[in-house]
Structure 1
């Protein structure tokens, strides 16, 4: 098991759910609502799991490999993307399900998410596979799977300051007394 594979599995599920929404009759608002509610919650859970587990580890291996600037930039961009996705998901809720405006908001969320996933797949996941040992990727996969399982009902969407996020992670890396980079170590952010 490898955290990069679990993240890719989540990406496939997100794409599948967006595709399902595109194929449902707009009059079936109950079905659209149910699928959108699941997808919206899943998008946030996935983002939060990445922020708690994957991105701190990416920063850690990048710093160790003397690639701090590159992984910091990737992480800043990813946290900003997560905020954009949260905002797009919130925008969907402002429209009546099945209307043209609702579909436009869902399409905007899909675009924000698709852009983020493509970039993450090209950069962050690729870098992590190159920089982190398989044993570390396995350990993180276990944490990631457990985090998503524990929070299957969803997590609270909270935008993050990308630079503040990076500072908090790097402080944790410099000061081992503040705790390890495990699930929940970034609760201050």
Structure 2
């Protein structure tokens, strides 16, 4: 288990579930809810696992990649993105499944999440792969997978102050 591979695998699953929703416009609300709830939980738990396990290690070892000057810049941006994703998820939850407003909120969530994943893959993950020893990547990958399994039914999503997060974890 390499944490970079675990995170990339989650990103693939998130993209797959958004693509599945794209094909479900004629489905019943309860069918939409089944897929959305699975995706919502994945997004929430994945973000929290990154905040608990990945970003502290990135702040410790990273040097900046993909146009960012430092691991602090990468992490600040990523935490900001997580808050945007949480807000977008909350917007979806505020609408009846299958309505035009629900679909618009799902599309917005897909957009902000897609932007975040792309940035993270070329910045934080690239930086971490370049600077973290394999044994640490393995230990964090196991811990990340265990965290996700322990929270498979979901967590309470809470926004995090990017500046306070970086100050606390640097």
Q: Under a length normalisation based on structure 2, what TM-score does the superposition of the two structures give? A: 0.94
**Which residue does 1:88 correspond to in 2?**
88
Q: Write the distance in 2 (CA, Å) between the matches of 1:26 and 1:115.
A: 27
Tell me by how many angstroms 1:118 deviates: 0.2
Tell me if the contact between 1:92 and 1:102 (Cα under 8 Å) persists in the aligned partners. Answer: yes
Higher relative contact order (CA 8 A, sep 6+): 2
Q: Write the distance in 2 (CA, Å) between the matches of 1:101 and 1:163.
A: 32
**Which residue does 1:42 correspond to in 2?**
42
SS in 2 for 1:95: coil
Listed one character per residue, the Cα deviations across residues 29-53 of structure 1 (whole Å, up to 9, x for unaligned) are 1100111011111100000000000
Which structure has the bigger radius of gyration? 1
Tell me by how many angstroms 1:167 deviates: 1.1
Aligned-pair RMSD on alpha carbons? 1.3
SS in 1 for 2:70: helix
Listed one character per residue, the Cα deviations across residues 63-113 of structure 1 (whole Å, up to 9, x for unaligned) are 7xxxx9510000000000000000000000121111111111000000000
List runs of 5+ in structure 2 lacking aligned partners. none
Q: Under a length normalisation based on structure 1, what TM-score does the superposition of the two structures give? A: 0.85
Tell me by how many angstroms 1:25 deviates: 3.3
